[in-house]
C-alpha cells in the first residue's frame, strides 16, 4: 500500500480509501465487518462514510452504515488504527429538510455520527454537498436558475468555518473537508479561512474517473496550489468501468441492476468511451477495472481513491490496483479517447 501524508492531521492515509455506501443496502452487517477486516489487513487505513448512508438514501435505513462501523470498532478495538471520515448531509428527511451548515446543525449531526460510530472523534468531517444549488450529481453546466439563487439566504461561509473550527477545538473532529463542490466554493472557504485565521478545508471529495474528468478543469489547480487534495469517488463509474455491464448485461445484485436511477454512466457517449477503454485494457493485458483505478491512483492531485465493493473478491482486486503502473503507451491511448469524447458522464 502507498500512503499520502496529511500534515494537517499529522497522519498518513492510504492511497486507497475504503468506501462504505453499499453497507445497509447491498451488504449486511457481517459482510461490512468482513470488508473492514480485509481492508485493514491490506493496509487500507482510510475509511469514508456519511450520516445519510447507505445509498441510495432510505429513511428507514439511514445511518446503518455508520452503525455497522460502530459495532466493528466496539468489537475489535482498532479505532486508533483507522483514519475515519464522515459527513453532514443536507438530505430531505434529515432535520426536516432544513439542514444548514451552521453551529446548531453541524453539532447535532456530529452528535449522531459519533453515537452511531461508537467513537468520540472523527478525523475528517465533510460537508456532503453545498447548501447552494450548483452543478453537482451529473449536472454538467452552471444554469440560469443556479445563477439566480440568493446566497444571502444561506449560511455564510465564515459562519460554517467558525462552526467547524469550534468542533476542532472541542476535539470532536480533527480536520474538515468539502464534497461535491466547485472551484469557486473551495476557494471561498480557503480565502475566508486564511483571512480570519481559521483552519480551512484539507480535502474535497468529488467524482473522478475515466468517464468524468471534470475535476481537471479548474479544481485540479486549486487542489495542487491550495493543498486541498482530491478524494476521488466513483472511480469506476458505479462499476461501469469494470466492464461488467458491457453488451447490455445486468448482473444479479449489481448496482445498476438494482437501481435504474443511476444512469449517467451508461448514456450512449459513456458506453462508447467504455468500449474504447476496454479495448485499451485488453490490448495491454490489463484488468479493465484495475486500469481505470490505476489511472486515478497516478494523478498527482489525488490524495486517496475511494473504492467500493460488494464482495471480498471485488475489494481484493480493487486494492490490487495499487500494484498496477500504467505505461506511457496506455496513458497515450487513454488521452486519445478522452480527446475524442471528454467527460461523457459528469
Domains assigned to the chain: 3-239+301-325 (3.20.20.100)
Question: What is the pLDDT, as a whole number, of residue 252?
Answer: 67
> Which triple of cell numbers denotes residue 141?
453546466
Q: Give the CA angle between residues 51, 196, 98 to the nearest 5°.
A: 30
Question: What is the pLDDT, as a whole number, of residue 8?
Answer: 84
Instruction: Tell me if residue 53 is catalytic.
Output: yes
Long-range contacts of 250-254 (CB under 8 A, 24+ apart): 253/26, 253/310
Distances (CA, A) of 145 to 96, 130, 139, 163, 300: 24, 16, 13, 29, 34
Short-list 244, 249, 261, CA closest to 311 = 244
pTM of the model: 0.93
Which candidate in 53, 125, 245, 277 is catalytic? Answer: 53
Please identify every stretch of the chain with a pLDDT value under 50, giving residue numbers as ranges. Answer: none
CA pair distance 278, 129, nearest whole angstrom: 32
Decide: 180 and 206 in contact? Cβ < 8 Å.
Answer: yes
Short-list 255, 135, 62, CA closest to 87 = 62
Decide: 114 and 172 in contact? Cβ < 8 Å.
Answer: yes
Q: Give the CA angle between residues 262, 91, 152 to the nearest 5°.
A: 115
Question: What is the pLDDT, as a whole number, of residue 260?
Answer: 66
Question: What is the pLDDT, as a whole number, of residue 264?
Answer: 74
Amino acid at each position: 500500500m502507498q500512503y499520502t501524508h496529511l500534515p494537517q492531521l499529522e497522519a498518513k492515509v492510504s492511497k486507497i480509501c475504503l468506501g462504505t455506501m453499499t453497507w445497509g443496502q447491498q451488504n449486511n452487517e457481517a459482510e461490512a465487518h468482513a470488508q473492514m477486516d480485509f481492508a485493514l489487513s491490506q493496509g487500507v487505513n482510510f475509511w469514508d462514510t456519511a450520516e445519510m448512508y447507505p445509498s441510495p438514501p432510505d429513511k428507514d435505513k439511514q445511518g446503518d452504515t455508520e452503525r455497522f462501523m460502530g459495532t466493528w470498532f466496539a468489537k475489535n478495538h482498532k479505532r486508533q488504527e483507522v483514519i475515519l471520515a464522515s459527513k453532514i448531509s443536507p438530505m430531505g428527511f434529515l432535520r426536516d429538510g432544513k439542514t444548514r451548515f451552521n453551529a446548531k446543525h453541524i453539532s447535532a449531526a456530529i452528535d449522531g455520527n459519533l453515537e452511531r460510530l461508537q467513537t468520540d472523534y472523527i478525523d475528517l468531517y465533510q460537508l456532503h454537498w453545498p447548501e447552494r444549488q450548483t452543478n453537482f450529481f451529473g449536472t454538467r453546466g452552471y444554469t440560469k436558475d443556479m445563477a439566480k439563487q440568493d446566497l444571502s439566504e444561506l449560511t455564510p461561509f465564515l459562519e460554517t468555518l467558525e462552526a467547524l473550527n469550534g468542533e476542532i477545538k472541542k476535539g470532536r473532529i480533527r480536520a474538515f473537508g468539502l464534497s461535491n463542490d466547485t472551484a469557486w466554493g473551495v476557494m471561498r472557504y480557503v480565502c475566508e479561512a486564511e483571512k480570519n485565521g481559521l483552519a480551512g478545508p484539507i480535502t474535497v471529495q468529488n467524482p473522478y474517473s475515466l468517464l468524468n474528468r471534470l475535476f481537471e478543469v479548474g479544481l485540479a489547480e486549486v487542489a495542487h496550489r491550495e493543498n486541498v487534495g482530491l478524494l476521488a469517488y466513483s472511480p469506476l463509474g458505479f462499476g461501469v468501468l469494470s466492464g461488467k455491464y458491457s453488451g447490455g448485461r445486468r448482473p444479479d445484485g449489481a448496482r445498476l441492476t438494482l437501481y435504474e436511477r443511476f444512469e449517467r454512466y451508461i448514456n450512449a457517449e459513456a458506453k462508447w468511451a467504455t468500449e474504447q477503454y476496454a479495448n485499451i485494457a485488453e490490448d495491454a493485458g490489463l484488468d479493465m477495472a484495475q486500469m481505470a483505478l490505476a489511472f486515478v491512483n497516478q494523478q498527482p492531485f489525488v490524495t486517496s481513491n475511494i473504492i467500493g465493493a460488494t464482495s471480498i473478491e471485488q475489494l481484493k482486486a480493487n486494492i490490487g490496483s495499487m500494484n498496477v503502473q500504467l505505461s506511457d503507451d496506455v496513458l497515450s491511448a487513454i488521452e486519445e479517447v478522452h480527446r475524442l469524447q471528454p467527460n461523457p458522464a459528469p
